[in-house]
Amino acid sequence: MEKRATFATKIGVIAATVGSSVGLGNIWRFPYEAGQNGGAAFLLVYLGFVVLLGIPVMLAEFTVGRRSKANVNDAFRVLKPNSNWHLVGLFGILAAVLIMGFYAVIAGWTLEYVFQSVGNTLDKGSPEAMHTAFTSFTSSPIRPLAWTILFLSLNYAIISRGVRGGIEKASNVLMPFLFVVLIIFSIHSLTLDGAKEGLAFLFKPDFSKITSGVVLSAMGQAFFSLSLGMGTLITYASYFGKSTDLPRTSVYVAILDTLVAIIAGVIIFPAVFTYGLSPEQGPELLFVTLPNIFSQMPGGYFWSILFFILIAVAALTSTISLCEVVVAYLHEKIGFTRRRATQILTAICITLSTLCSLSFGLLSDITVFGKNFFDLSDFTASNILLPLGGLLISLFVGWSLDRSAVKEELSNKGTIPMPYFNILIFILKYIAPIGISIIFLSGLGLF
């Protein structure tokens, strides 16, 4: 049998996993979800989910991945032969493809913004003009799609070269760099006139804003941002070496991912209030806010080029991880070469992305439950499939796997002390499944 790849170094493990979690979810999706769901109230509920569900479900995925050393579908077969658990893996593959469809569209937008930054055409003179320019770009049929296809081609080039060569190298260099640039921008935003109002929006919770819809969105955001619920981290953990400290890795990843989201909020909201924008505008928030920031920032020309390149790269390290789930499955299970598997996946992504991209223009009138194709993909994947996947993975590790096997895996055969092990199992057995079910049903308005 072909030997499976592993990540080369400890720092590579963390960087690649952080690379998967940190992406458009933090910089684009978190601010817009927070903006639509009451700001600080959303942040607070979100933080609760990261600690209470995020870290435990991440540990559950790590356990399944490293113990089985297999793709998402085989992982469950290896650990529980002759059961139906492997369907969870198939379901993860579906979610991955659905997420790729809309994610690649937003990633394409970031490339357009790199292009405009280089040409110095981002600044249209007034916040209104910048908004109009954005809408006319996203609603046009060809241009956004061309960028999306370019993005998917870059993604293809990295993935078809394999685990060590592509993923690890890119993440190691670029993630720390992104972090530094975000800090610099947040400091600039704190000097804006609207800083006080922006910070109050993000950090001063108004508890009356917490509704079941807000709770569902915060849960979806936690799963999305941490790359949970569909086997990305099962697949990545299958490449971890046996000395990787899983509990420590999960805590690092959760902290870094959350920090990046909060810093993105600190960059965006002061600017939103400074330039008279609305925090509730949805997916366009990042794209209509940033050009205003750069137009006023010393060295804005240079910073905007750098920033949009880094966002595109952060998106790339996330899509690589999403695609890896599908590619590993098609390669190991169906027997396609990695290259062929990546080609098939890329073709599917282009099809879905086309529908998502056109739903901002030509197809904007076609809606299901009041949502266009883009919103529907995002909502179904993030707020339904991911929590459902997380629920099933929790049940699998909490109930179906042997407790001693879980402990052995998480503690590296007893070499890492785990005083909280029983709490973790309790969460996986009861809290996560029951909590997710309730939030789910009430958030969807089913009771």
In this chain, which of 58, 316, 322, 410 binds ligand TRP, going by CB under 6 A?
322
Would you put residue 2 in left (φ > 0), alpha (ψ -120 to 50) or beta?
Answer: beta
Q: 238: closest CA among 99, 331, 104?
A: 331
Question: Rounded to the nearest whole angstrom, what is the least distance from the CB of residue 386 to ligand TRP in the complex?
Answer: 6
Question: Rounded to the nearest whole angstrom, what is the least distance from the CB of residue 276 to ligand TRP in the complex?
Answer: 28
Query: Within 10 A of 102 (CB to CB), how many other CB atoms are there?
Result: 26
In this chain, which of 13, 14, 19, 23 binds ligand TRP, going by CB under 6 A?
23
- Is 230 an interacting residue with respect to ligand TRP (CB under 6 A)? yes
- Is 428 an interacting residue with respect to ligand TRP (CB under 6 A)? no
CA angle 327, 333, 334 (to 5 degrees): 85
- Is 57 an interacting residue with respect to ligand TRP (CB under 6 A)? no
CA-CA distance, 189 to 274, in Å (whole number)? 9
- Is 68 an interacting residue with respect to ligand TRP (CB under 6 A)? no
In this chain, which of 14, 60, 99, 192 binds ligand TRP, going by CB under 6 A?
99
- Is 159 an interacting residue with respect to ligand TRP (CB under 6 A)? no
- Is 377 an interacting residue with respect to ligand TRP (CB under 6 A)? no
Question: Rounded to the nearest whole angstrom, what is the least distance from the CB of residue 131 to ligand TRP in the complex?
Answer: 24
> What separation in angstroms does the CA of 326 have from each of 318, 319, 334?
13, 11, 11
Q: 41: closest CA among 158, 202, 157, 199?
A: 202
Stretches 15-23, 75-83, 235-243, 362-370: which one binds ligand TRP (CB under 6 A)?
Answer: 15-23
CA-CA distance, 272 to 253, in Å (whole number)? 28
Question: Rounded to the nearest whole angstrom, what is the least distance from the CB of residue 325 to ligand TRP in the complex?
Answer: 8
In this chain, which of 37, 321, 377, 380 binds ligand TRP, going by CB under 6 A?
321
Amino acid at 341: A
Phi, psi values for residue 241, rounded to 5°? -80, 170
Query: Within 10 A of 101 (CB to CB), how many other CB atoms are there?
Result: 25
- Is 60 an interacting residue with respect to ligand TRP (CB under 6 A)? no
Phi, psi values for residue 168, rounded to 5°? -65, -45
Question: Rounded to the nearest whole angstrom, what is the least distance from the CB of residue 228 to ligand TRP in the complex?
Answer: 6
Query: Within 10 A of 109 (CB to CB), how many other CB atoms are there?
Result: 28
- Number of residues interacting with ligand TRP: please give it, by CB under 6 A: 16
Which residue's C-beta sits nearest to ligand TRP? Answer: 25
Tokens of 129: 């003009």
Q: How far apart are the first and last CA of the chain?
A: 51
Stretches 2-10, 35-43, 225-233, 235-243: which one binds ligand TRP (CB under 6 A)?
Answer: 225-233
Between 111 and 425, CB nearer to ligand TRP? 111
Site string for ligand TRP, 289-318 (x = CB under 6 A): -----------------------------x
- Is 14 an interacting residue with respect to ligand TRP (CB under 6 A)? no
Tokens of 293: 């920031």
CA-CA distance, 317 to 171, in Å (whole number)? 7
Instruction: Tell which positions 69-98 bind ligand TRP, by CB under 6 A.
Output: none
CA-CA distance, 215 to 441, in Å (whole number)? 11
Q: 30: closest CA among 259, 253, 233, 321?
A: 259
Question: Rounded to the nearest whole angstrom, what is the least distance from the CB of residue 421 to ligand TRP in the complex?
Answer: 26
CA-CA distance, 177 to 444, in Å (whole number)? 39
- Is 258 an interacting residue with respect to ligand TRP (CB under 6 A)? no
Give 368's strand partners: 371
28 within 8 A of 106, measured Cβ to Cβ: yes
- Is 155 an interacting residue with respect to ligand TRP (CB under 6 A)? no
Site string for ligand TRP, 169-208 (x = CB under 6 A): ----------------------------------------
Question: Rounded to the nearest whole angstrom, what is the least distance from the CB of residue 64 to ligand TRP in the complex?
Answer: 15
Question: Rounded to the nearest whole angstrom, what is the least distance from the CB of residue 441 to ligand TRP in the complex?
Answer: 21
Residues that bind ligand TRP (CB under 6 A): 20-21, 23-26, 99, 224-225, 227, 230, 232, 318, 321-322, 386
